[in-house]
Structure 1
Amino acid sequence: MKWEKIQLSDANWQDIISAEVKISPILAKILVAKGITKSEDARRFLYPDLKDMHSPSLMKGVEQTVNRILQAVKDKQKIMIYGDYDVDGITATVLFVRVFRSMGAEVLSYLPNRFVDGYGLSNQGIDYAVSNDVSLIITVDCGISAVDAVDYGNQSGLDIIITDHHEPKDVLPSAYAIVNPKQPGCSYPDKDLSGVGVALKIIHALMQTTNVPVSFTALLALAAIGTVADIVPITGENRIIVRHGLKILSSTREPGLVSLLEVSGIRGKVIDTADVGFKLGPRLNASGRMEDASLSLDLLLSHTHHEAIRLAKILDEKNTLRQQIQKEVFEEAKQLVGHPDNKKVIVVAKDNWHQGVVGIVASKMVNEYGRPAIVIAYDNENGKGSGRSIPQFHLLNSLTKCDALLQAYGGHKHAAGLSIKKEHVDEFRKMINVYADEVLTDEDMVQSMEVFEVNLEEVTPKLVFELENLLAPFGIGNPRPIFSSSSVGIADMPRIVGNNHLKMKISSCLRQIDTIGFGLGGVWNGISANRKKVNIAYRPQMNEWDGMSTLQLSLKDIHVA
């Protein structure tokens, strides 16, 4: 793998920020590399404050939405929250249901079944609203492309408010109001909010307008989970939401969240974005991927621990089943790919693949091959697919170029979903690769990672503390940094342990540091066993074992010195 060493255009900023903000030179270098060159901006980034969030009134459609909600509450009109079956949509639904009920509103919720309703606002969901005497539908995390469904709802006499964060198409739905920071004419400064982030802004506006007997900070744990799980950039307001939300989540007493933490094996620990992304999120997603997302909704709305732990255990079982199915589909997808060197975008499709896992498999394909991937599951002559991408390739734009072959599609730069006829998949594969050839260079296809070159003596427990407590939370837009050190001495004979993991000690002046390289056994085999010095890329961490806390390096790659 290629290492791209991050260089600063002006190292003076590093020294100034380090001295004025009282942080290590390494942390200051990371901030300057992000374009943060003022101490005030550095403090704002390292210590995100809820007071720094923008006024919700800046978002187009919020005032109209708040007034309609207040009218519905006053007139005792039924409100239905139309969610989505992923974590972002589920958590946003929970927020609205909880807040509206606290205001005395009669609230229903509807989460579409991906196998029956498909994605987004559907006629079936609208019929359900009509049959339950609903006057107002509010979508969350969906609806910006639902032109026909909104027209259907308008004909039924419903008011429909769209709240979404996905990229709008040329024609917007004729909704009562639309709240989406990406819509034309919206001047809201932060365009990267998740669906639950948009819902949170509307709730914030409600709280500024009327008395809402729910604490704003109490909603941040759910907002953080939805934001992290939706893989939006952890910058701007998302960083504020996630930093504060994870802190609240770590000490939550809500039955649903406590039970979810318990079955995930992380109750009692300080929760980070990796815990949400790899443990909490997959379990909440499992019900919507395998069957019906309402199980996750019921868990998060639970009032008793007895009921919550019962639901959490069912979710855990569904997640285990999801993992088994995902593994099978991933192995079959790799067999279909073969050697993808002549294709910049991987498109694989097969009958009988489970629709609920194609998105995760697409993510794994990107990690495996270092190129965009779209995985399609056929249901007779129809295909439903999900794609994930690399930073250099805007996935939604690529689908727009293939519009004529697709039945439906939506998403954003990093992830997207689509529907396509089976007979069009081969042509789609060709067309999207023609576009990829125009916008991707051969250099873009070389797997690489950005590294900060540091002297190993600078890597200390204090640096790890700064990374975990000041630079975090990590995610897109703020990745956990990788460091590199050159000509590092090997203090003992490297060993291959477990499932091809590399374990060895390295020497630095008068100290030795343990390292672990997960899956790097093959990398070491390509280096001479007699070599005494190597170049390493790694992430520093503290290893907790038997009551002791010691510095450890998590190896990402090794090069010959």
Structure 2
Amino acid sequence: MRWTLQSKPDISIVKKLAKELNIDEILSTLLVQRGITTFEEAKKFFRPSLTDLHDPFLMKDMDKAVSRIEKAITAQENIMVYGDYDVDGTTSVALMSSYLQTITPQIATYIPDRYTEGYGVSYQGIDYAHDNDITLIIALDCGIKAVDKIAYAKSKGIDFIICDHHRPGDKIPEAIAVLDPKRTDCDYPFKELCGCGVGFKLIQALAEQRGETIQDLLPYLDLVATAIGADIVPITGENRVLAYFGLQVINAHPRAGFTAMLSQIKKKALTITDLVFVVAPRINAAGRMKHGLHAVQLLVEENHEKALSYAAEIEAYNSNRKDTDQSITKDALTQILDNNEEDRNTTVVYNENWHKGVIGIVASRLTETYYRPTLVFTKSGEKLAASARSVKGFDVYNALEACTEYIDQFGGHKYAAGLTLQEENYELFKQKFEKVVSLTIDQKMLIPKIAIDTPIELEQITPKFYRILKQFAPFGPGNMKPVFMTEGLMDMGYGKCVGADEKHLKCTVIKNQVNIGAIGFNLGKKYPLILNKQYFKAAYTIEENEWNGEVSLQLSLKDIN
């Protein structure tokens, strides 16, 4: 692991802010590192307000989108709400369809089948709309590159409104409205909304036109918060406000689907981390193993008994997904070793029998193991389909763009993307991708990095300090959980390896007569470093540990040296 220490901010700004807020200088340092330098900025950070949300009509084409939907409602047209099969897509469809159904009953929902239709807007979906007299499709979390498909829909007399957040291609589809803050001609102030976030801005605009307030839309923010967490967008600016209030809804007034999904989870208050690691995999499992509409069904269900039944189905899909991705990961690791590819700058693996629904998870697992840009391919119809994952700092989307002579289609983000290609191009693509990455990646990026916010001493970790630190949440990209470093630590003699295969490290550290418990997941191999009263340094986050009804602070170790 490569430890990097953030540069110290201007001490005069740190001291001034600490005095104005009456907080520890360590906490003030953390704020300044996050770009918060004044009392007003700190107030907005610690007390997010719905009034901080931007006017939805600042987004290009928003007026056109609202006008077309109002026209459809007045004329009693059939409207289809169309979204991708992942968490962002299914939450978007649940959000938009449930809101529109409060105005008109003529709403249909559609999620493409991962295996027969693939990602995004499909000809099959458009044909389904045409066969069912649907004249308006609202596409969420997809559509920004569907130029030909939107033209096909137009030829069938079907209008499109696109709500997307992916990077546009060279040409914008000729839809009635294309809402995407990443359009170069869109002046919307916040560019990092997820697909569900763009969908929320549309219902916010519709609500304004209908005389409703932002308070009327609060119940929908649980879906937006879930999508923000799952899609790994920055939890800054508008996303921070949406996530903050969305978590409040989940914890205070959860919808039936959330209550059913979480019925086995014994936790007082859910965080963004819980949404990412507990809720999102279950929602995703429907689209991976069966069909994304099962997730939408669960998210919009209001009857508790029915929701429990849907949640049980999804739990079974999730269990099946876990077994499948573990098996494929094992196969993929074997393939890398058999082909002597441990020393490359990329991981590219393929097996025609791998389950298409889990190759993204497998790509993430392989990235954790070898820490390099990774693609996992499987057979999809006549073509090969892949999921790509990257490492911190490296733009895999740009790398794929440099290999387009061998790719049929691709799309995605800096750190995650998808593509299809012809089987005969697989080896050529693999060679080109390795070459492109080797020429463009900084070799430092291939070593996992721990970014340390600031050094700290154990005596500074007090209940009051932690109370304020907790208010930095919700954590995520752009506002990660602060990582601290302390040098000169010693184990009190109770250190041991714990867990299956003794993979984890548990100890109590002491310095300057102050001691605190610590747990290091997957750090069992570092046990020799704490033996025999050796001094060591640790990088860690701070968390609460509940044991037998007692709550205490502990260090969650990231690494020790």
**TM, length-normalised to structure 1:** 0.96
SS at 2:351 equivalent: strand
CA RMSD in angstroms comes to 1.6
Question: For the structure 1 residues 9 and 301, does the alpha-carbon distance in structure 2 shift closer, same or farther, using more than 3 Å as the test?
Answer: closer
- The residue correspondences of 1:89-128 to structure 2 (distance < 5 A) are 89-128=89-128
Aligned to 2:26: 26
> Is contact 2:544–2:552 with CA below 8 Å preserved after alignment?
yes
Aligned to 2:557: 555
Partner AA of 2:149 in structure 1: A
> Is contact 1:383–1:422 with CA below 8 Å preserved after alignment?
yes
> Is contact 2:84–2:120 with CA below 8 Å preserved after alignment?
yes
Aligned residues: percent identity? 36
Residues 249-284 of structure 1: per-residue CA shift (max 9 Å, x gap): 012242112112214x14x62110111000000001
**1:497, CA displacement in angstroms?**
1.3
Residues 492-531 of structure 1: per-residue CA shift (max 9 Å, x gap): 1421111221111111333321111111111223x37324
Aligned equivalents of 1:66 and 1:337: distance in 2?
51
Aligned to 1:512: 515
**1:136, CA displacement in angstroms?**
0.4
**1:549, CA displacement in angstroms?**
0.8
Aligned to 1:460: 462
> Is contact 1:102–1:212 with CA below 8 Å preserved after alignment?
no
> Is contact 2:115–2:380 with CA below 8 Å preserved after alignment?
no
Partner AA of 1:182 in structure 2: K
Partner AA of 2:430 in structure 1: R
Aligned equivalents of 1:369 and 1:236: distance in 2?
33
Partner AA of 2:367 in structure 1: V
Partner AA of 2:522 in structure 1: G
Partner AA of 1:520 in structure 2: L
Partner AA of 1:176 in structure 2: I
- The residue correspondences of 1:262-281 to structure 2 (distance < 5 A) are 262-263=263-264, 265-266=265-266, 269-281=268-280
> Is contact 2:247–2:270 with CA below 8 Å preserved after alignment?
yes
> Is contact 2:409–2:421 with CA below 8 Å preserved after alignment?
yes
Aligned equivalents of 2:448 and 2:400: distance in 1?
23
Aligned equivalents of 2:533 and 2:353: distance in 1?
50
- The residue correspondences of 1:485-504 to structure 2 (distance < 5 A) are 485-499=486-500, 500-504=503-507
Partner AA of 2:518 in structure 1: T
Aligned equivalents of 2:393 and 2:380: distance in 1?
32
> Is contact 1:62–1:205 with CA below 8 Å preserved after alignment?
yes
Greater Cα offset, 37-46 or 158-167: 37-46
Residues 77-122 of structure 1: per-residue CA shift (max 9 Å, x gap): 0100111101111111111111111112410010011001111111
Residues 103-151 of structure 1: per-residue CA shift (max 9 Å, x gap): 1241001001100111111110001101111110010000111111111
> Is contact 2:151–2:174 with CA below 8 Å preserved after alignment?
yes
- The residue correspondences of 1:110-509 to structure 2 (distance < 5 A) are 110-211=110-211, 215-263=216-264, 265-266=265-266, 269-338=268-337, 340=341, 342-379=343-380, 382-451=383-452, 452-468=454-470, 470-499=471-500, 500-509=503-512
- The residue correspondences of 1:62-101 to structure 2 (distance < 5 A) are 62-101=62-101
Asked if 1:544 is matched to 2:546, the reply is: yes
SS at 1:549 equivalent: strand
**1:36, CA displacement in angstroms?**
2.4
SS at 1:532 equivalent: coil
Aligned equivalents of 2:438 and 2:144: distance in 1?
30
The alignment of Structure 1 onto Structure 2 pairs a total of residues equal to 555
Partner AA of 1:507 in structure 2: I
Aligned equivalents of 1:413 and 1:545: distance in 2?
40
**1:462, CA displacement in angstroms?**
2.5
**1:423, CA displacement in angstroms?**
1.8
Aligned equivalents of 1:544 and 1:537: distance in 2?
22
**1:212, CA displacement in angstroms?**
5.2
Partner AA of 1:455 in structure 2: E
Partner AA of 1:551 in structure 2: L
Aligned equivalents of 1:181 and 1:384: distance in 2?
28
SS at 1:102 equivalent: coil
SS at 1:471 equivalent: coil
Question: For the structure 1 residues 2 and 317, does the alpha-carbon distance in structure 2 shift closer, same or farther, using more than 3 Å as the test?
Answer: same
Asked if 1:3 is matched to 2:3, the reply is: yes
SS at 1:215 equivalent: helix
Greater Cα offset, 515-524 or 213-222: 213-222
> Is contact 2:80–2:138 with CA below 8 Å preserved after alignment?
yes
Aligned equivalents of 2:335 and 2:439: distance in 1?
25
Structure 2 unaligned blocks of 5 or more: none
> Is contact 2:491–2:530 with CA below 8 Å preserved after alignment?
no
Residues 406-427 of structure 1: per-residue CA shift (max 9 Å, x gap): 1111011121111112221222
